[in-house]
Amino acid sequence: MSVSLQEQPQAASLPGARRSLTESAAHGTALEEFERSDGRPAFVLTFTEVKLLGIAGVGFFLDAYDLFIINPVSTMLQYRLYGGKSLPPNLEGFVKAGANIGSVIGQFAFGYAADSLGRKAVYGKELMLIIIATILTLTTPTGSLSPNNCLIYLGMFRILLGVGVGGDYPMSASITSDRSNLRKRGTMLAYVFSNQGWGSLVGSLATLIVLAIYRGAIEKRNELSKVDGVWRIVVGISLIPAFGTLYQRVTLPESKRFVFSQKLKLTGQHTEAQPRDIAELEKEKVTAEGSTDADEKPSKNGSAEIVEERNELSEDNDLPLEVLIKKKAHFKGMVSFPCLAQKFLNYFSEWKHAKLLIGTCVCWFLLDIAFYGINLNQNVVLGQIGFDGKSGTEWNRLFKISTGNMIITALGFVPGYYASILTIEILGRKWIQIQGFLMAALFLGVLAGKFHELSKGAFIVCFALLQFFFNFGANTTTYCYPAEVFPTRFRATAHGISAASGKAGAIISALVFNTLSKKIGTPAVLWIFFGCCIAGAFFTLLLPEVKGRDPDALLAAEIEAKRQAVVGI
């Protein structure tokens, strides 16, 4: 049975629940199928799943394309604006970090909005931002502004681009996780994230092709200003998949988890008085224990949370508990925004929940310090393997740099992502993340210790293996974990916070890598990245294995246990 965008939900049971559900409610939490294996491996997809991945995956294609294309673009701007000299270090860091700065804003904002207003109300808006920002980026007036002001102009609109790119992280993760079979959820998320590899690869390939087209003008006629056209075309190509997916995103139906949370009705034993009675029992219990005010709520993390849950049920007393724990906050003007924030804080005030958020945030932060520190500053690596473009004509230099980027991407990025796709449901997320961190640390240690001694061939092999284990490891699983470990009610918000933590690490690397490497040397910086990977492996121990784990069912069991404790069952 295939996963469908409109599929009937799966049967779910709640331990200890005493409510009778309608036939449709009794069959389901949305779009998780009936959890019956069709006998095919998890990585074999149906047409409907491929369609869903196409809609969600284009965001990550654009993420990598737009983030990593800045490397060859910044090199072209050296020739267009500074006569081949290096860009000013501070402005180069600002341009390279701009998209990541915007990503932090987008990840927070879109993640919270998706949980508050629903996926359908928000999905597609992040892609609109990407399109607008890309067009504005192309208007950079390199012929009229001073070189430094051109970089500032470009960097500002790359921040706006980053808001859209960042917003795609929690949106696509939630859209995919909401619609995935538990048996294939990790594979589906890994497939979506693997589009980063294709985005980087296509970006390098597009640069090579456009440079080849312009070879006559740049090399033979010595029209170096034509690089202005090269980088604009390369950046503008990303608009094609963006426009191609926009309609599908804005018309994608709401997640069934939200639809059923509002539509399903109860029959049988449930009565309207039951939730209110539980709340009253709790108040009486508090009063009996010596409270001076019958309406005073108990302390944090105590029975106040139960009262809050019961009051919520009293507002929606026609919905089953299994559905309530998956429903989005009501949208009544702006009321839903602070309402969600309060519930989010209540939920994560418990250590067993907070440690999961700490784990996803810190692991992603440490990973991105190392990952983006390497990939946003590939000129250092390219210099070690002979593709730094320091010799030959201007065109030859640009072409050699683009070729080096292509080699790095083809050897490490794409194979690593697909190793994760093929094994994530077998090995599990936790094992892949820990071994990925440790293996990346190993190769970073080799590169740091033998930075000036490795031959070109040995350096390429070592760096390719580093990239492989970044992607067959924490770069994939840090994206998957927040979409699988947190319940639907808080999934997008928690994913946005986790992703923003990662981008904070990327910003640090982008801003300080060049300056720090000049002060203490590149090998010393690589040792810092080594330490980040070791620490990431330890923080992964805070996280459970999420293969086959249903966080909504766990939350339902928690709420039911609190209800039974209050009522005295």
User: What residue ranges define each of the domains in the chain, with the CATH number in brackets?
Assistant: 47-256+351-554 (1.20.1250.20)
Q: What is the pLDDT of residue 380?
A: 67
pLDDT-wise least confident of 10-14, 105-109, 226-230: 10-14
Q: What is the pLDDT of residue 389?
A: 62
DSSP at 486? S
**Which of 221-225, 269-273, 530-534 holds the top average pLDDT?**
530-534
DSSP letters for 107-166? HHHHHHHHHHH-HHHHTTHHHHHHHHHHHHHHT--TTTS-HHHHHHHHHHHHHHHHHHHH
How large is the average pLDDT for residues 233-262?
81
Rounded CA-CA distance 403/410 in Å is 11
Element (H, E) at 286: helix 273-288
**Beta-carbon neighbour count of residue 16 at 10 Å?**
12
- Residue 374 pLDDT level (bands cut at 50, 70, 90): confident
Q: Is the dihedral of CA 75, 80, 83, 86 positive or negative?
A: negative
DSSP at 350? S
Q: What is the pLDDT of residue 439?
A: 96
How large is the average pLDDT for residues 148-159?
92
Q: How far is CA 119 from the centre of its chain?
A: 15
Rounded CA-CA distance 274/20 in Å is 13
pTM over the 0.75 mark: yes
Q: What is the pLDDT of residue 296?
A: 37
pLDDT-wise least confident of 63-77, 314-328, 352-366: 314-328
Which residue would you say has higher pLDDT here, 335 or 72? Answer: 72
Rounded CA-CA distance 524/70 in Å is 25
Token representation of residue 23: 């036939």
Which residues is 20 bridged to in the sheet? 267
Q: Is the dihedral of CA 327, 328, 332, 338 positive or negative?
A: positive
Which residue would you say has higher pLDDT here, 12 or 108? Answer: 108
pLDDT-wise least confident of 165-169, 362-366, 401-405, 413-417: 401-405
- Residue 493 pLDDT level (bands cut at 50, 70, 90): very high
Distances (CA, A) of 554 to 186, 248, 543: 18, 33, 15
Token representation of residue 346: 């209540």
**Which of 94-108, 232-246, 314-328, 366-380 holds the top average pLDDT?**
232-246
What is the per-residue pLDDT across 413-447, written as a single tens digit (0 to 9) for each? 778 899 999 999 999 999 999 999 999 999 999 99
Rounded CA-CA distance 257/5 in Å is 12
